[in-house]
Amino acid sequence: MQDGAGSSKMFSEKGSARRKLDQQNFMEQVRECRDNGYLLSSRKIGSGAFSKVYLAYATHERMQHNPKLASDLRGKRHAMGQPPPLRVAIKIISTAEAPVEFSQKFLPREISSLNATYKHLNVVLLYETYQNSQRSYLVLELAARGDLLEHINAVSDHCCRPGLGEEAARRLFWQLVSAVAHCHSSGIVHWDLKCENILLDDQGLLKLTDFGFANRSGLKNSLLSTFCGSVAYTAPEILMSKKYNGEQADLWSLGIILYAMVTGKLPFKDHQPHRRLHLMRHGPTFRPGTSPECQDLIRGLLQLRPCARLDLQQVATHCWMLPAAQALFCTMLSSAPEKPAESQLPATLDHTEPGRDSEPPRPLLKLRRPQQGGTHRESASGLVPEPPEAIPRRRAGSAQLGLRNMAAASLGVGASR
């Protein structure tokens, strides 16, 4: 039997052996990245179940050899009007430690889904991958401002009221809808749409990520039976173990995300599945002050019957969304044709990066995590310019019709790289 001093010595020896091993692993990763043209920093910007994500830098040689990387980073430099940061995010997956199913099923899905959808400005760009027998490396576009959950919480704290304002929510939701429409039209359902999988970059642009559960939707209207995603965002038909349509399930998640954006809460919070379904049947409730149009859009997405939900075209042309379409239209008219797509959207969030080191499991909305300065200014989260003036009442009907057509047409093509 060990006495107290003996067991604490054993623990500290174990701890230092673990640290040594971690250090050794990290040095191997640094070497493997350098061999592939990237300088890995020690700054961990996130972690998942089997992955760690680090800030890294692309070397000039690598940029010369990878056209995707070169053109994207060149565009970013241009948009930021700054000397080249050449920053990327490298997601390192320890395939030796992860379950076989993860390495053989979910990781390949993530890579193929990103390769199928990367052209959209609001989908995180996978520059390249490399691997060995121990690890897989995904070199990703850096979205340095944290995720939507952090953003909502930071704005709520700053403004002392829960949620983003409807204007800010609309600008972000527009980008999300556009990204999801692009995925669906590329035959990909995300299956895990939630605030934690929506990142923001230095310019405040939304970047959809984490396609680990994503899959080919295959035939239109084909029904799936696998459970994917996070319960709070999961469609009722999945919770009820019914066969379901992946695209319609994504629509439900969009409704939950929009609700979270405007109210700072999740609509159907209950740990008991039957209670949760009961709440879903009753539909969401809103705090006073939420506009009737916004409520209508959320209710249209959070329909219990999947086929009764608004589709993406209907979402894009919903009256609550029209100001976003109008702003996009004005931006398109006023921007010079030679500018890269990103530079058409002004950088309006400030440039401080929130610290996001190794973290405990994600809390749902309401639980606060410490934030460093920088993501707190709601008014600064605008992504597209405000519409210059209201549509004159007399002509509102035809102007809105035009905008609706434009909104519908711009889904999926409005933000291609």
Ligand X SMILES: Nc1ncnc2c1ncn2[C@@H]1O[C@H](COP(=O)(O)OP(=O)(O)OP(=O)(O)O)[C@@H](O)[C@H]1O
Q: In the range 37-96, which residues lie near ligand X by CB under 6 A?
A: 45-51, 53, 89, 91
Minimum distance from residue 50 beta carbon to ligand X (Å): 6
**Is residue 209 close enough to count as binding ligand X by CB under 6 A?**
yes
Name the token pair of 39. 């300088």
Minimum distance from residue 125 beta carbon to ligand X (Å): 8
Minimum distance from residue 112 beta carbon to ligand X (Å): 15
Minimum distance from residue 258 beta carbon to ligand X (Å): 20
**Is residue 411 close enough to count as binding ligand X by CB under 6 A?**
no
Classify residue 167 by its DSSP letter. H
Task: Tell me the per-residue interface mask from 340 to 359 with ligand X, x by CB under 6 A, - otherwise.
Answer: ----------------x---
**Is residue 253 close enough to count as binding ligand X by CB under 6 A?**
no
Nearer to ligand X, 51 or 234 (CB): 51
Name the token pair of 165. 């304002």
Nearer to ligand X, 356 or 404 (CB): 356
Nearer to ligand X, 136 or 381 (CB): 136
Nearer to ligand X, 126 or 181 (CB): 126
Torsion sign over Cα 339, 344, 349, 354? negative
**Given 142, 200, 206, 294, the residue binding ligand X (CB under 6 A):** 142
Q: Are 232 and 364 in contact (CB under 8 A)?
A: yes
365 contact partners, CB below 8 Å, separation of at least 6: 149, 152, 153, 195, 260, 264, 265, 266
Minimum distance from residue 104 beta carbon to ligand X (Å): 15
**Is residue 363 close enough to count as binding ligand X by CB under 6 A?**
no
**Given 139, 179, 193, 199, the residue binding ligand X (CB under 6 A):** 199
Minimum distance from residue 91 beta carbon to ligand X (Å): 6
Give kind and range of the element (H or E) at residue 40. Answer: strand 38-47
DSSP string spanning 210-268?
--TT-EE--STT--B----S-GGG--HHHHTT--B-HHHHHHHHHHHHHHHHHHSS-SS
Q: In the range 4-23, which residues lie near ligand X by CB under 6 A?
A: none
Nearer to ligand X, 192 or 247 (CB): 192
Among 192, 201, 210, 250, the one annotated catalytic = 192
**Is residue 205 close enough to count as binding ligand X by CB under 6 A?**
no
**Given 124, 154, 206, 411, the residue binding ligand X (CB under 6 A):** 124
DSSP string spanning 70-104?
HHHHHHHHHHHTSS---EEEEEEEETTTS-HHIII
- Pairing outcome for strands 51-58 and 126-131: unpaired
Beta-bridged to residue 131, according to DSSP, are 136
Beta-bridged to residue 55, according to DSSP, are 89
Which residue carries 């995010």 as its tokens? Answer: 89
For residue 201, indicate whether it is catalytic. Answer: no
41 SS3 class:
strand
Catalytic residues: 192
Q: Which residues bind ligand X (CB under 6 A)?
A: 45-51, 53, 89, 91, 124, 140-143, 147, 196, 199, 209-210, 212, 356
